[in-house]
């Protein structure tokens, strides 16, 4: 069976079926995490379902049972990774903070999330190589991502009412400003670090950069 062939077949017997019966969500989560590791290391084209199965206490047949195909599994990995960052963004409780402090919290979270989740950055780079083909197939990713724009827009509106932010700011532009620097310093850390002889993993460098992007964003939006 090739990686791209969908084969649901019959549920497996023995230990595999027992695992799925006892804790199907954990089995699915384990497969997703193993798949993320494989896709990050090998890309979509180079990733193998056999290798993903070897990373888990499951089988190639069970992976197809849960996800249908390698491409569908890859798409689910994207949904999981985007979902993780969006869920955490929603827990930041920006509404309870003064607008300027809320923006600072969101920028700092974005910086820390990208710094700590290299897999997220690398798989998004892979998806861009594929021209966003699989993101286009997932309305869930667009719906989840619209929530951060809504929260950011509400915070900007509050800031204007508080007299601390100027009017006329495009929410999508502000989101891009915030995320682009945080993403770039992870996605390009090896080339940038080597060319300019800077260790982007150094704690003092990270603190400086986090302060810098917070300052840049707030200077851009202040009244």
- By CB neighbour count within 10 A (0-12 exposed, 13-18 middle, 19+ buried), where does 150 fall? exposed
If phi over 0 gives left and psi between -120 and 50 gives alpha, with beta otherwise, what is residue 138? beta
CA distance 45 to 37: 14
* Residue-wise pLDDT tens digits, 140-199: 999 999 999 999 999 999 999 999 999 999 999 999 999 999 999 999 999 999 999 999
* Residue-wise pLDDT tens digits, 110-150: 999 999 999 999 999 999 999 999 999 999 999 999 999 99
Average the pLDDT over 187-213 and give the result.
Answer: 97
pLDDT at 1: 41
* Residue-wise pLDDT tens digits, 94-114: 999 999 999 999 999 999 999
pTM score: 0.84
Chain-centroid distance, C-alpha 210: 19
Please report, in angstroms and rounded to a whole number, the separation of the first and last CA atoms in the chain. Answer: 61
pLDDT at 219: 97
pLDDT at 21: 53
């Amino acid at each position: 069976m090739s990686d791209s062939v969908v084969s649901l077949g019959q549920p497996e017997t023995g230990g595999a079926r027992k695992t799925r019966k006892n804790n199907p969500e954990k089995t699915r989560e384990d497969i997703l995490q193993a798949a993320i590791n494989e896709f990050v290391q090998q890309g979509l084209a180079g990733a193998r379902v056999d290798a993903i199965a070897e990373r888990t206490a499951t089988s190639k047949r069970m992976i197809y049972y849960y996800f249908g195909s390698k491409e569908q599994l890859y798409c689910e990995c994207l949904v999981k990774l985007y979902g993780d960052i969006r869920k955490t963004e929603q827990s930041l409780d920006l509404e309870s903070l003064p607008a300027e402090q809320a923006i600072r919290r969101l920028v700092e979270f974005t910086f820390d999330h990208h710094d700590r989740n290299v897999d997220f950055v690398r798989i998004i780079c892979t998806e861009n190589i594929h021209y966003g083909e699989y993101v286009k197939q997932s309305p869930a990713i667009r719906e989840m991502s619209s929530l951060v724009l809504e929260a950011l827009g509400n915070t900007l509106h509050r800031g204007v009412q508080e007299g601390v932010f100027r009017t006329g700011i495009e929410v999508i532009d502000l989101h891009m400003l915030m995320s682009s620097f945080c993403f770039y310093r992870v996605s390009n850390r090896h080339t940038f670090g080597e060319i300019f002889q800077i260790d982007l993993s150094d704690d003092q460098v990270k603190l400086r950069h986090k302060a810098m992007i917070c300052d840049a964003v707030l200077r851009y939006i202040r009244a």
